[in-house]
Structure 1
Amino acid sequence: MAEELVALNPGTRLADTWTITRKLGAGMFGAVYLCRNDQALEAAMKTEPVDTKHPLLLMEANVLRSLDSIRDGDGKHFCRCLDLGSGATQDPATGQSKEFRFIVMSLVGRGIDDLVREAGGRFSPGTAIGVSIQLLNALRGMHDKGFLHRDIKPPNATIGRPESNELRLIYLIDFGMARKYQKEDGAHRRPREMTKFRGSAKYASISAHLRREYSRKDDIESWFYVLVELFVGVLPWAKAGDKEAIGQRKLRRLDEQQEVRQQAIMELLEGCPSEFGSMLKHIDELTFEERPDYESLVTVLRYILAHNRFQEHPYDWEVGRRFTDQRQVQSAGTQRPGGGQGGGVNQARSAGGVHPNK
Structure 2
Amino acid sequence: MSSTSSHSNIVGVHYRVGKKIGEGSFGMLFQGVNLVNNQPIALKFESRKSEVPQLRDEYLTYKLLMGVPGVPNVYYYGQEGMYNLLVMDLLGPSLEDLFDYCGRRFSPKTVAMIAKQMITRIQYIHERHFIYRDIKPDNFLIGVHGSKAENVIYAVDFGMAKQYRDPKTHIHRPYNEHKSLSGTARYMSINTHLGREQSRRDDLESMGHVFMYFLRGSLPWQGLKAATNKQKYEKIGEKKQMTPLKELCDGFPKEFMQYMVYVRNLSYDEKPDYDYLRSLFDSLLLRLNEVDDGRFDWSLINNGKGWQYSAVKQHAAQHRHAQEAAKQQIAVPQYTRSRQNLMQPNSKQLLVSSPYPSLQPLRNDTARNGRLGSSTAAPQSQPQLTLTSSGGQQQYGQRGVQIEQRLRKSNDASRTATPKSSSKKKFHLRLLSCCVAKPK
Q: Please tell me the TM-score bracket, short chain as reference.
A: 0.7 to 0.9
Asked if 1:231 corresponds to 2:231, the answer is: no
Q: Is the 8 A contact 2:42 2:90 kept in 1?
A: yes
Q: Distance in 2 between matches of 1:145 and 1:176?
A: 16
Instruction: Specify the SS of the correspondent of 1:302.
Output: helix
**1:308 to partner: Cα distance:** 2.1
Equivalent of residue 240 in structure 1, options 203, 209, 224: 224
Q: Distance in 1 between matches of 2:216 and 2:17?
A: 41
Q: Distance in 1 between matches of 2:268 and 2:199?
A: 6
Write the letter of the residue equivalent to 2:298: W
Q: Distance in 1 between matches of 2:171 and 2:156?
A: 26
Equivalent of residue 57 in structure 2, options 48, 59, 65: 59
CA pair 232-101 structure 1, distance change in 2 beyond 3 A: same
**1:265 to partner: Cα distance:** 1.6
Q: Distance in 2 between matches of 1:225 and 1:321?
A: 28
**1:9 to partner: Cα distance:** 6.3
Instruction: Specify the SS of the correspondent of 2:69.
Output: helix
Q: Is the 8 A contact 1:111 1:156 kept in 2?
A: yes
TM-score by structure 1 length?
0.77
Matching residue of 2:20: 23
Matching residue of 1:211: 195
Matching residue of 2:9: 12
Asked if 1:107 corresponds to 2:90, the answer is: yes
Q: Is the 8 A contact 2:99 2:214 kept in 1?
A: yes
Matching residue of 2:30: 33
Q: Is the 8 A contact 2:12 2:76 kept in 1?
A: no
CA pair 10-207 structure 1, distance change in 2 beyond 3 A: farther
Q: Deviations over 1:119-144 (max 9, x none)?
A: 12111211111011101100000011
Q: Is the 8 A contact 1:112 1:155 kept in 2?
A: yes
Asked if 1:121 corresponds to 2:104, the answer is: yes
**1:37 to partner: Cα distance:** 2.2
Instruction: Specify the SS of the correspondent of 1:177.
Output: coil
**1:60 to partner: Cα distance:** 1.4
Q: Distance in 2 between matches of 1:275 and 1:174?
A: 29
Matching residue of 2:297: 316
Aligned length in residues: 292
**1:35 to partner: Cα distance:** 2.1
Q: Distance in 2 between matches of 1:20 and 1:278?
A: 47
> What stretches of structure 1 of length at least 5 have no aligned partner?
70-74, 89-98, 254-263, 323-358
Moved more, 311-320 or 243-252: 311-320
Matching residue of 1:91: none
Q: Is the 8 A contact 1:237 1:246 kept in 2?
A: yes
Write the letter of the residue equivalent to 1:44: A
Q: Distance in 1 between matches of 2:8 and 2:21?
A: 15
Instruction: Specify the SS of the correspondent of 2:96.
Output: helix
What's the Cα RMSD here? 2.1
TM-score by structure 2 length?
0.63
Instruction: Specify the SS of the correspondent of 1:65.
Output: helix
> What does 1:51-200 align with in structure 2 at a 5 Å threshold?
51-69=49-67, 75-88=68-81, 99-184=82-167, 185-200=169-184
Q: Deviations over 1:311-357 (max 9, x none)?
A: 544211112169xxxxxxxxxxxxxxxxxxxxxxxxxxxxxxxxxxx
Instruction: Specify the SS of the correspondent of 1:25.
Output: strand
Q: Distance in 2 between matches of 1:233 and 1:143?
A: 29
Write the letter of the residue equivalent to 1:303: S
**1:10 to partner: Cα distance:** 7.2
Bigger Rg, which one: 2
Write the letter of the residue equivalent to 2:72: C
Q: Distance in 2 between matches of 1:321 and 1:212?
A: 45
Matching residue of 2:286: 306
Q: Is the 8 A contact 1:24 1:33 kept in 2?
A: yes
Q: Distance in 1 between matches of 2:270 and 2:221?
A: 27
Instruction: Specify the SS of the correspondent of 1:31.
Output: strand
CA pair 65-25 structure 1, distance change in 2 beyond 3 A: same
Equivalent of residue 44 in structure 2, options 29, 37, 46: 46
Equivalent of residue 206 in structure 2, options 222, 237, 252: 222
Choose between structure 1 and 2 for higher RCO, CA contacts under 8 A separated by at least 6 residues: 1
Matching residue of 1:252: 242
Q: Is the 8 A contact 1:19 1:36 kept in 2?
A: yes
Equivalent of residue 253 in structure 2, options 273, 288, 301: 273
Matching residue of 1:330: none
